[in-house]
Structure 1
Amino acid sequence: MVSPVTVSLDRKYIDICPSPITLEKAMSFFLNSCRDCGQNTPMVLLGLLMFAITHILYTSAFGMKPLNPEPGCGVVVICGIFYCLLYPYLSGPFTYLVAVYIALIGFMGWRAIAGVQLFNDLWTWTKLCACLGAVLFMVSDLTIAVNKFCFPVPYSRAIIMATYYAAQMLISLSVVECKDDNDGNIRKMN
């Protein structure tokens, strides 16, 4: 059995436990690094596949509860608009692969957004981090797609890398739990 890593911060402890969620996210980070290796090479299709698998793992880590279909409808509309903008520039297998990829990243974004529930007392900082991370991933990937298929985006490299690494950081923060030294209870960071 692997023990959790504990870091003390002013009488509070942050535990990073090897749970299924952290293992899924660790695998996602590995697949993202494989995708990054293929970004500037002819292996773009392999990179697209690696990132698609990553989004499936993120979706599974975010879970299906609460269902919350309203943000899902909004994400479907946004993804549909993005695909309609990209479609005239796509050809060959990218016509279908980009559609599948947009559906996967949209589903991942919906699951992260659905977990936040800002208008009642059920939200946590970890869920908010997951939501913002997913949205930044969508911005990063849209910038990549527009830059690759449509037209050069000014400062695309800076935009892509800033949003990509911010998304990775925020999703990483979504697995951090806080243990209060006073009562010994573990709770999500709020």
Structure 2
Amino acid sequence: MKTQIQNCTLQLVQGDLTNQKIDAIVNAANSSLAGGGGVDGAIHRAGGPSIMEETDARYPDGCETGNAVISSAGNLPCKFVIHTVGPVWQGGIRREPELLKSAYHNSLQLAVDHQCESVAFPAISAGVYGYPMDLAAAHALMSVAEFLREHEAPKLVRFVLFDSGAYGAFSHALENVAKIVQKW
């Protein structure tokens, strides 16, 4: 499923983020950039130890929630890994929507700054961080759509969703975002 925003494509696929042949993939990292489970663990396993060595050296203080940093991709089939920290869901009362949108925006800005024409995202914060999938999808897709509208880059933004439940939630949200985009 996909939609056009300006001259950019916003696309959804179900699959494995670590297999994407794309300029940059986004890691749903923790604030210490220490590796972990879920998407983060899969990226570090597939990419090898050089990613962790680089982030340890370049970002010894880690990364704050809502921000993003970039590294090389180790053994992954992409050029870069953008590490972003999404918020832990606490009922929506601790600026979670704002922080999640910031994580997407800052990741896209790093991709543009490093001349990436394509970037792939997971569903940031929607796993162990507990952000409700439907809200995560709506906030993520709207944030990306607004960025593409303003910057007309990257040319391709792909959400790679691990299972059918996540894909369904993002598909529903993309239908709603596409209606908004048509009015722009």
TM-score norm. by structure 1 comes to 0.29
Higher strand share: 2
TM-score norm. by structure 2 comes to 0.30
Higher helix share: 1
